[in-house]
Amino acid sequence: REYFASPENILKNEINNTTDIYSLGMVMYRLFNFNRFPFLPSKDESYAISEYADEKAYQRRISGENPASPTYASENTAEIICKCCRYEKEERYKKAAEVAEAIDNAMKTENLTDVLDYPSFSAYGSKTEIVEKEEHNVPIPEDKGPKSINVEPEKKQDTEVENENIYTMGAQAYYTEAMGSIKNNRQVDIDGESLQNIDEVSKKIAEKYGYESKEFRKFTEKLRILEDVKENNEILKKDNKKRALTIKILCGVACAAIIVGIVFLLNTDTYYINQGQFDRIYKKNLIGTTECFKEVPAENLIKKSKYLYYINQEDRKLYKSSIKNGTDEEVLSEDAVTVFRIKDDYIYYLNTGDDDKLYRMETDGTDVSCVYDKRCASISLEDGNIEIVPADNPSDLLILNTKDLSVKEALVD
């Protein structure tokens, strides 16, 4: 059963941030009502709670009835708690900061009940030993200087309250801030002796009051609460680190995908010879925009990696030009070229200056050699090999193996 859930949450109605305010109010209600939820019998009426009473109280909460003031709450404190626990969402505090501010104002005007003296931290409905209250003062330190807790039994002052009351009431804003102060800068004064170590404090209190005393039991109970909160904070920190790491990984993957997309878009330009523009080389991007890339008449245009290879119709030489800069070009062959093909890192071309014999060079223009020393009519690239049409017998077809540079006749069906 969802004891701390708001009515709209239990009834599957629309919820908002006031749903959490309601749950906070239920926590505070129990702390000021002998560990009992609204509409349950008081401790004077019944120590144990029957299933019938429990079900009846639960139904009253979700049917629209607002709870009465908690037993041990002062007027101002009860007003804060009851406003948190209103059935109608519109009648509750709108933000946790408003709850914290209301608690702060109440603390400035009156003493709050010392909740830790009541059995409020046992399981719901279980029997707990009721310890007789003994008045003693634990003042709230000033904002400047180290925090201190005076455990000397003396009368509680009207203008000061125990720091731990803030934690047990669960006001989120003050809860976090106060825990940071206690954990990082805690100083306990006992008989004029300042102790920084928790073990020393425990030993000193045990020596002064005894291990079975109410003072020692109260101190260890508060210490246990602080340790539980510290442990929960560590768990939250670990969870936050995991989430941050996951977000970083996802952001890295997204950035990598964007980079890959940009690279892809940059490499999707197509280059072609525009016959309507005097065989100039044109470029067309992904969205269809065209522009003149090189103002030269060209033929036999081939794109490989980041370079364009073409024959300049004016001097019949083989050129190489970077696609990043159209003005950056390199002459690969000083001899006139009829036609060329590219396979892997080699260019195969017909050298017009040497009677159209088949030559080969690397794509950077080095390692030039004749691979077939007879005149050729044309060449083409098929299945990874160079097909040769001999000039003296155009009806024949020869195959140049690009691996061992052997030439043989093609099998024709």
- Give the angle 107-111-113 at the CA atoms, nearest 5°: 110
State the average pLDDT for the chain: 77
Helices (H) and strands (E) in the chain, counts: 9, 18
Q: Where are the alpha helices (DSSP H) in 85-189?
A: 96-109, 163-169, 172-184
Polymer length in residues for the chain: 413
Q: So what's the pLDDT on residue 118? A: 40
- Contact residues for 30 (Cβ-Cβ < 8 A; gap 6+): 36, 37, 120, 124
Of 297 and 172, more confident = 297
Which of 41-50, 225-234, 335-344 is least confident? 41-50
Handedness of CA 228, 231, 232, 233 (dihedral sign): positive
- pLDDT(177) > 90: no
The arithmetic mean of pLDDT across residues 162-170, rounded, is 36
- pLDDT(398) > 90: yes
DSSP string, 47-111: SS--HHHHHHHHHHHHTTPPPPPPTT--HHHHHHHHHHT-SSGGGS-SSHHHHHHHHHHHHHHSP
- At residue 29, the 3 state secondary structure works out as helix
Q: So what's the pLDDT on residue 411? A: 76
Q: Which residue in this structure is represented by tokens 């809860």? A: 175
Of 189 and 391, more confident = 391
Q: So what's the pLDDT on residue 23? A: 93
Q: So what's the pLDDT on residue 152? A: 45
Q: So what's the pLDDT on residue 188? A: 53
Record the tokens describing residue 155, joined without a space. 């009368």
Per-residue model confidence as pLDDT tens digits over 287-340: 778 989 988 899 999 999 889 999 999 999 999 998 887 777 889 988 899 999
Q: For residues 400 and 142, what is the distance between their CA atoms, to the nearest angstrom?
A: 95
Q: For residues 263 and 374, what is the distance between their CA atoms, to the nearest angstrom?
A: 44
% of the chain with per-residue pLDDT over 90: 36
- What is each CA distance from 264 to 268, 284, 289, 325, in whole angstroms? 6, 15, 17, 18
Q: So what's the pLDDT on residue 44? A: 60
pLDDT band of residue 151 (cuts 50, 70, 90) is very low
- Give the angle 137-33-121 at the CA atoms, nearest 5°: 70
The arithmetic mean of pLDDT across residues 380-405, rounded, is 91
Q: What are the phi and psi torsion angles at 86 (to 5°)?
A: -60, 145
pLDDT band of residue 249 (cuts 50, 70, 90) is very high
Q: So what's the pLDDT on residue 199? A: 66
pLDDT band of residue 190 (cuts 50, 70, 90) is low
pLDDT band of residue 27 (cuts 50, 70, 90) is very high
Q: So what's the pLDDT on residue 135? A: 38
Q: Which residue in this structure is represented by tokens 């280059």? A: 271
Of 384 and 267, more confident = 384
pLDDT band of residue 413 (cuts 50, 70, 90) is low
- pLDDT(126) > 60: no
Q: For residues 336 and 93, what is the distance between their CA atoms, to the nearest angstrom?
A: 89
H/E stretch holding 250 reads helix 214-266
How far does Cα 98 stand from its chain's mean position?
30
Q: So what's the pLDDT on residue 325? A: 74
Per-residue model confidence as pLDDT tens digits over 2-22: 778 999 988 889 999 899 999
The arithmetic mean of pLDDT across residues 186-207, rounded, is 63
Per-residue model confidence as pLDDT tens digits over 80-124: 999 999 999 999 999 999 999 998 888 887 654 443 344 443 333
Record the tokens describing residue 46, joined without a space. 């019944």
**Amino acid making up residue 324:** K
Q: So what's the pLDDT on residue 171? A: 35
Which of 60-64, 234-238, 336-340 is least confident? 234-238
Which of 21-30, 53-62, 162-171 is least confident? 162-171
Q: For residues 261 and 254, what is the distance between their CA atoms, to the nearest angstrom?
A: 10
Q: For residues 119 and 104, what is the distance between their CA atoms, to the nearest angstrom?
A: 24
Q: So what's the pLDDT on residue 153? A: 44
Q: So what's the pLDDT on residue 88? A: 93
